[in-house]
């Protein structure tokens, strides 16, 4: 099965109340909107939570394109995570990797799936990115 996913995270204060949003579209054009919140979190944790929650809904051996407006998320999962794992979950400056629990969860969910990560500019008129942002921000207050 093939999927397209758009994700976003938001926080009111950083740390503060946070929300995440994700849109899953399958190859038949069925769309599922997901969102959730945490009372006290950070924006980066919400950016990571959105694809985790979306990927939990997708079967193994799927082909997925994930769009995110978070460079932190995209670079973390496609570039930095290799070094973090090789360095015992230490960053380049030898400090513990922030949000390690979520990086591990996300990494585990990417196994047995073919995933392409794409960055999209935030607040630039991309309809589905704007919807993911709306889901995330509305989750904070609902």
> Which tens digit of pLDDT belongs to each residue from 108-119?
999 889 999 999
> Which tens digit of pLDDT belongs to each residue from 12-50?
999 999 999 999 999 999 999 999 999 999 999 999 999
The catalytic position among 19, 21, 69, 76 is 69
* Whether residue 47 lies in the annotated active site: yes
* Whether residue 26 lies in the annotated active site: no
* Whether residue 138 lies in the annotated active site: no
> Which residue ranges form the domains of the chain, and what is each CATH number?
2-141 (3.30.420.10)
* Whether residue 101 lies in the annotated active site: no
Rounded to whole angstroms, the Cα distance separating 47 from 73 reads 7
């Amino acid at each position: 099965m093939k999927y397209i996913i758009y994700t976003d995270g938001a926080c009111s204060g950083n740390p503060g109340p946070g929300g995440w949003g994700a849109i899953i579209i399958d190859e038949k054009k069925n769309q599922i909107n997901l969102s959730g919140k945490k009372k006290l979190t950070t924006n980066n944790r919400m950016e990571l939570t959105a694809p985790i929650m979306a990927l939990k809904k997708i079967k193994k051996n799927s082909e997925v394109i994930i769009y995110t407006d978070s460079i932190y998320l995209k670079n973390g999962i496609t570039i930095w995570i290799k070094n973090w794992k090789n360095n015992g979950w230490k960053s380049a400056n030898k400090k513990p990797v922030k949000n390690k629990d979520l990086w591990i969860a996300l990494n585990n969910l990417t196994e047995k799936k073919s995933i392409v990560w794409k960055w999209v500019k935030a607040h630039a008129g991309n309809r589905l990115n704007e919807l993911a942002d709306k889901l995330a921000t509305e989750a904070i207050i609902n």
